[in-house]
Each structure stands twice: as C-alpha cells, then as structure tokens.
C-alpha cells in the first residue's frame, strides 16, 4: 500500500475487506444501529430516500426499512416509518429495475415525484444555458436533476418531520462521483466507508435479486447518453477503485486516475470555503 492509498483510505474511513460472513453481518448490524440512533437522537421518526434502481439505493433502502421495523418493535411506537421515493425525469429507461427495487425493499410508504417539468422550467429560465454546446448543456442539466431530486426528498422529509438518507460510499466518494449539494446532500449516509463490492455483498446477503446486485452502475443524468456507465465516466473500473481503497496493487494508469480525481474533487467532500 502506498502512502497516498493509506492516506485516502483513512480519510474516507474505508472498511477493510470482509474476512467472512460474520464480518459482513457485523457491518449490517452496525449500519442498522447507526440509522436507528440517528432517528432516536434527532427526535424524529421518518426516513426518506430516493430509489433509482441501482444497488446503492436498493441497499440503503432495505437497511432503512429494516431499521424502522426494528424501532417499531423495540419501542412499540408505530410512528417510525420509511418513505421510498421514485424521482424519474420523464420516463426512466430502466424503470423496471426501479420497480423491482421497490418490491424488494418493501417500504412502509412509496411516493413518486416526476422532476421533468421542474427541470425543464428552470432550464428555460436560465439564459446562460442557451449558448452552451449540446453536450455541455446536457451535463449542466444533469446536475440540475440531481439537485432537484434532493430538493424533493428534503421537501417530503420536512413535511413529515423526517431525515433524508444519502447513498454515498467510499468508491464514489474517492472519485467525487456525486453532485455537490445534490445527491451529495443528506442527513445521514449509512453506506459510508464501504467499497462498491461490499455494498453488493450486503445487498446479496439481504436477499436482493442477483440482476440488481450485479447491475451496471449508472448515474443516468445525461439525456444524450441515458444509462451511461459510471465506469466509463471514471475511466477506471469499480474493481480497481475497490482494490485501490483496500491497499492492493492496481495498474499505474488506474492509480494515477484515482489519485488525480480524488485531489481534483476535494472541494466536494469539504465544507464551503470561509475566510
């Protein structure tokens, strides 16, 4: 392990590889306890999370549902509940996966907020977008979608005196692969410190369908490239990102991409600059 690998892994609180199933189960229990404590310490009783159809929201969503069920059993208070929210932009190309995720999660309540009209309305009002190239405008509007989705989730949480769950984990955090003040904004992030393979392992342990566990990750924010794989955007695979974070040897090119991207996206992981 290089000094940079060790430094980055420590900064992101990376969880070591699961030695066995007992270690995996311990992490599941730890993260459910974390979710439950966040609710109890806040004095609130509702959790909200957007479900995209990917393994991250599927895993966080099922952990949230299990946590509120345990809280209801332990406290006798039926007010504890989890709201799973679909947040499509128009018609999502992999809506079948999102619906399958909802069926697996079995949330107390499901809601849908289509953000298309909000995104188009905002885009039409911002003249600075008009002279951009099609590709650049598509990228900027992708960030608008991510931020509007979080606005919707916080609105639902506010209306129900609840907390918003985020799905960030170490393999995304190291690449800064989230929208600042968009999907990077939340009240609690129960997958923090896990690498992508560990998220998949937890999803599998929880009983998620294999096709969802192994689904190719995509942020799905670009109109010109719907379903664009995360790994294409990264320029490096999640297998290599996971290996890097766990201190293993990776290709020199992959190492350089990960370190450079981590350094360039530092602002996303820090509080706003102040004098």
180 is in an annotated binding site: yes
Is residue 226 predicted with pLDDT exceeding 80?
no
pLDDT value for 205: 98
pLDDT computed for residue 225 by the predictor: 78
Tell me: is residue 53 an annotated ligand-binding position.
yes
Please tell me the total number of residues recorded for the chain in this structure.
275
User: Is 270 one of the catalytic residues?
Assistant: no
Neighbours of 205 (CB within 10 A): 16
Report yes or no on whether pTM surpasses 0.85: yes
> Is 50 marked as binding a ligand?
yes
Give residue-wise pLDDT tens across range 99-125. Answer: 999 999 999 999 999 999 999 999 999
pLDDT range class, residue 92, cuts 50, 70, 90: confident
Mean pLDDT of 52-71: 97
3-class DSSP assignment, residue 188: strand
**pLDDT given at position 228:** 80
128-155 mean pLDDT: 96
Q: Closest by alpha carbon to 221, among 112, 118, 144, 126?
A: 144
Distance between CA atoms of 192 and 130, rounded to whole angstroms? 38
Write down the catalytic residue from 108, 168, 172, 240: 172
Please indicate if the annotation marks 90 as binding a ligand: no
**Is position 274 within any domain?**
no
Question: 218 falls in which pLDDT band (50, 70, 90)?
Answer: confident
Smallest Cα–Cα separation from 49: which of 40, 39, 57, 41?
Answer: 57
- Can you list the alpha helix ranges (DSSP code H) found in 166-237? 170-173, 196-206, 210-213, 230-234
64 assigned to some structural domain: yes
pLDDT for 241-270, tens place per residue?
A: 999 999 999 999 999 999 999 999 999 999
Residue 120 CB: number of other CB atoms within 10 A? 14
Residue 218: domain span: 3-269
Q: Tokens representing 222?
A: 């670009």
Q: Output the six-digit token pair for 100.
A: 């399958």
What pLDDT score was predicted for residue 230? 80
Mean pLDDT of 168-178: 96
Residue 168 has what pLDDT? 96
Helices (H), the chain: 3-11, 21-42, 55-75, 95-105, 116-125, 134-159, 170-173, 196-206, 210-213, 230-234, 238-245, 252-264
Q: Which of 202, 186, 260 is nearest to 59 (CA)?
A: 202
User: Would you state the pLDDT for residue 224?
Assistant: 77
The whole-angstrom separation of Cα 145 and Cα 224 is 14
Residue 263 annotated among the catalytic residues of the structure: no
Rounded mean pLDDT of 90-104?
94
The tokens describing 156, both together, are 């639902």
Q: State the pLDDT confidence band at 212, using cuts at 50, 70 and 90.
A: very high
DSSP summary character for residue 183: T
Q: Is residue 241 part of a domain?
A: yes
C-alpha distances in Å from residue 263, one per residue of 4, 7, 157, 167:
11, 12, 33, 21
35 labelled as ligand-binding? no
Nearest Cα neighbor of 113 from 80, 151, 81, 141 is 151
Number of domains into which the chain is organized: 1
Whether residue 275 is contained in a domain is answered as no
Q: Residue 150: pLDDT above 90?
A: yes
Has residue 227 got a pLDDT over 90? no
202 annotated as belonging to a binding site for a ligand: no
The per-residue pLDDT of the chain, averaged, comes to: 95
Give the pLDDT score at 231: 84
Is it the case that residue 237 has pLDDT exceeding 90? yes
Q: Each residue of 176-195: pLDDT tens digit?
A: 999 999 999 999 999 999 99
Q: What is the DSSP letter of 271?
A: P
CATH of the domain at 30: 3.40.50.620
């Amino acid at each position: 392990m290089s000094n940079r690998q060790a430094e980055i892994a420590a900064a992101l609180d990376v969880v070591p590889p699961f030695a066995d199933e007992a270690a995996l189960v311990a992490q599941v229990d730890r993260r459910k306890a974390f979710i439950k404590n966040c609710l109890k310490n806040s004095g609130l009783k509702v959790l909200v999370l957007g479900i995209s159809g990917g393994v991250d929201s599927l895993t966080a969503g099922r952990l949230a549902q299990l946590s509120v069920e345990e809280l209801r059993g332990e406290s006798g208070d039926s007010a504890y509940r989890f709201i799973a929210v679909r947040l499509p932009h128009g018609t999502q190309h992999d809506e079948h996966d999102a619906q399958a995720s909802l069926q697996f999660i079995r949330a107390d309540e499901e809601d849908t907020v289509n953000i298309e009209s909000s995104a188009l309305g905002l885009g039409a009002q911002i003249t600075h977008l008009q002279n951009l190239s099609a590709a650049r405008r598509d990228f900027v509007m992708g960030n608008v979608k991510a931020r509007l989705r979080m606005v919707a989730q916080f609105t639902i949480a506010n209306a129900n005196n609840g907390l918003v769950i985020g799905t960030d984990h170490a393999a995304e955090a190291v690449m800064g692969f989230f929208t600042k003040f968009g999907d990077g904004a939340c009240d609690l992030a129960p997958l923090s410190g896990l690498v992508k393979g560990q998220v998949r392992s937890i999803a599998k342990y929880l009983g998620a369908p294999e096709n969802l566990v192994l689904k190719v990750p995509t942020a799905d924010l670009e109109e010109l490239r719907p379903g664009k794989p995360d790994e294409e955007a990264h320029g490096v695979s999640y297998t290599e990102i996971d290996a890097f974070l766990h201190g293993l040897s990776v290709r020199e090119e992959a190492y350089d991409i990960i370190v450079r991207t981590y350094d360039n996206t530092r602002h996303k992981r820090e509080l706003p600059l102040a004098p």
